[in-house]
Amino acid sequence: MISKSRVEAVFVATCEIAVNPLYGRHQRRFEDADFAALRRSIAATSKNIAPALIRRTSDGARELVYGGRRLQACEELGLQLFAVEYQALTLAEAFAWMLSDARQNWSLFEIGTSVRLALDGGLFPSQRRLALACGLEQRFIGDSMGFVQLPDSVLSLFPNVTTVSTVFARRLTRALNEDPEALLAKARQCAARMKTARNVVDYLCPRKESRFTHRNFPRK
């Protein structure tokens, strides 16, 4: 348990805050309508109402735990960031807090990006241990990892990877596991520009139609 005496609310110049190396937010999330609305709300009040979370690293530097879009908006507006600062928070603890917060509004791709960075960096020994530390389901962590590890030839077909749902990601990873050559061949042959995530998934791994439908289902 972290001592409350080591926590304080602060206003900090954005130039003093480094971004967590495991932070997986996609650039598109700093360009969309939600970010524009956040920026307008911060401009209207001259501060971010909801505090970001930052920590002091072992060398005394300030590092973002979560609140990257608030940090970016404040930087663009020339404002200090309102944040809760922990004086003693390990990288593993910071990651767990970040991912718990991310579960609410990050995309599957963004979460998978952070998960892969944490596992590749040896912060957790396994997906199971990471899921336990973050209070998330192991299947969800596996889904996010499976999605970001799809071949670039598949991911590049999506107009925006941050809009891909868990359901679509599972269909793709299942298709890759069942017949990787067929999936990759389809991805290579795709010449048309896909407009939505559903278009991409339906093209790469179309659902098998049931033998019977409401029109031809045999009646007694």
Per-position pLDDT tens, the chain of length 220: 444 448 899 999 999 999 999 999 999 999 999 999 999 999 999 999 999 999 999 899 999 999 999 999 999 999 999 999 998 889 999 999 999 888 888 999 999 999 999 999 999 999 999 999 999 999 999 999 999 999 999 999 999 999 999 999 999 999 999 999 999 999 998 877 788 999 999 999 987 755 555 555 555 5
Q: Name the amino acid, one letter, at 196.
A: T
Residue 7's CATH number: 3.90.1530.10
Q: How many domains does the chain have?
A: 1
Residue 52 lies in a domain: yes
Question: In the numeric block, which tokens belong to residue 148?
Answer: 């970001």
Residue 73 lies in a domain: yes
Residue 105 lies in a domain: no
- The set of long-range contacts for 147-152, using a CB threshold of 8 Å and a minimum separation of 24, is 147/108, 147/109, 147/112, 147/172, 147/173, 148/109, 148/112, 148/113, 148/115, 148/116, 149/112, 149/116, 150/176, 151/176, 151/184, 151/187
Residue 174 lies in a domain: no
Q: What whole-number distance in Å separates Cα of residue 148 and Cα of residue 95?
A: 18
What is the domain extent for residue 82? 1-89
What pLDDT, on the 0 to 100 scale, is given for residue 3? 43
Q: What is the pTM of this model?
A: 0.85
Residue 72 lies in a domain: yes
Residue 16 lies in a domain: yes
In angstroms, what CA-CA distances link 157 with 128, 171, 194, 210? 30, 15, 7, 27
Residue 84 lies in a domain: yes
DSSP letter assigned to residue 161: G
Residue 33 lies in a domain: yes
